[in-house]
Amino acid sequence: MTDTLFLHYMIVYYYRNVDQLSPELLEELIACLPQQQQEIVARMKSHRHRCEQTVAYIMLCHAIKSRRRVIADSFHLIRNFETEHLTPRYVKRNPPLWAFGEHGKPYITNYEGVHFNISHCNEAVAVAVSDRKVGIDVEGRRKFSDTLLQRAFSDEEQKAVRNSSDPQKEFACIWTRKEAWFKYTGTGILIDHLKTTEAEASDAGCVLFTIPIFNSDKGFYDFWLSVAENSARAE
C-alpha cells in the first residue's frame, strides 16, 4: 500500500532516557513489531540498544500516521515523544517496511514519498520523517581531543570552539551538523570531507539547522539535534 502527500512537512521526535524502559514494557513493544524489526532488535546485544531500536521504530510509525495532521498545523514539528505514546497501536496497521541502500541507510518501501532517518546518543534517540530526503543527528556534551578538532573541523570551526565559553557545547553543535549531512547522503562519515561539510551541503541544495534541547529537570541544554533536509521536494 502506498500513500503520497503533496504538501511539504517534517516531523522530528526525540525521546530521553531510553534505557530506563522496563524489561516488561520493552518485551511488550517488541512483540508488536513486524517480523523484520523483531529480527533487527534480536541482533542487539544490550538492553539499551534494543530499547533504542524499538522506541525509534514506534516513533517512526507515530510520525507517519500523524503527518496529515502536522501538515494542517505546521510544516515543521519538533517534539519530545512521551512515554504514554509507546504503545502497540501505532504499529498494528500498515507498519513501515524497510530496505537498505548501498551503504546501509534504511528507507521505507511501502509509503511512497516518505523519507526518514534515525539517530541516538547517550542522552536521547531521535527520528526525522519528511517528504524530502533527510538526515538527523543527536549529540550530547562530549570530550574531544585537539587532534580530532584539527582533523575534522575547518579553521573557522576550530576558532568557534576554542573561543566559546562552553567548548563542549560548541563542539557538539557543529559535530551534529556534520553527521546529519553524511547521514543525509547515506555514505557514512567521509574523513576527507569533514572540514567542508557546510559548503558541500549548501552546494547540494541541502538545508542544515540545529536545535539545542533544554532539560528542564537539570536546568541546562543536555543535547543538540541537527537536521539536514533537501531544500526542494524530492521526486
Find how far residue 232's CA is from the centre of its chain. Answer: 20
Reading the chain (235 residues) residue by residue, the pLDDT tens digits are 334 444 578 899 999 989 889 999 999 999 999 999 999 999 999 999 999 999 999 999 999 988 866 554 556 788 999 999 998 888 988 999 999 988 889 999 999 989 999 999 999 999 999 989 999 999 998 889 999 999 999 999 999 999 999 999 999 999 999 999 999 998 877 777 888 999 999 999 999 999 999 887 777 778 999 999 988 654 4
User: Can you give the pTM of this predicted structure?
Assistant: 0.89
Contact status, residue 90 vs residue 81, Cβ threshold 8 Å: no
Q: Identify the bridge partners of residue 209 per DSSP, sorted by sequence position.
A: 227
Enter the C-alpha cell of residue 103.
Answer: 551503504
Domains, in order of start, for the chain: 8-131 (3.90.470.20), 134-235 (3.90.470.20)
Q: Report whether 176 contacts 224 (CB < 8 A).
A: yes
Do residues 18 and 56 make contact, with C-beta atoms less than 8 angstroms apart?
A: no
**Cα 215 to Cα 199: distance, rounded to the nearest angstrom:** 32
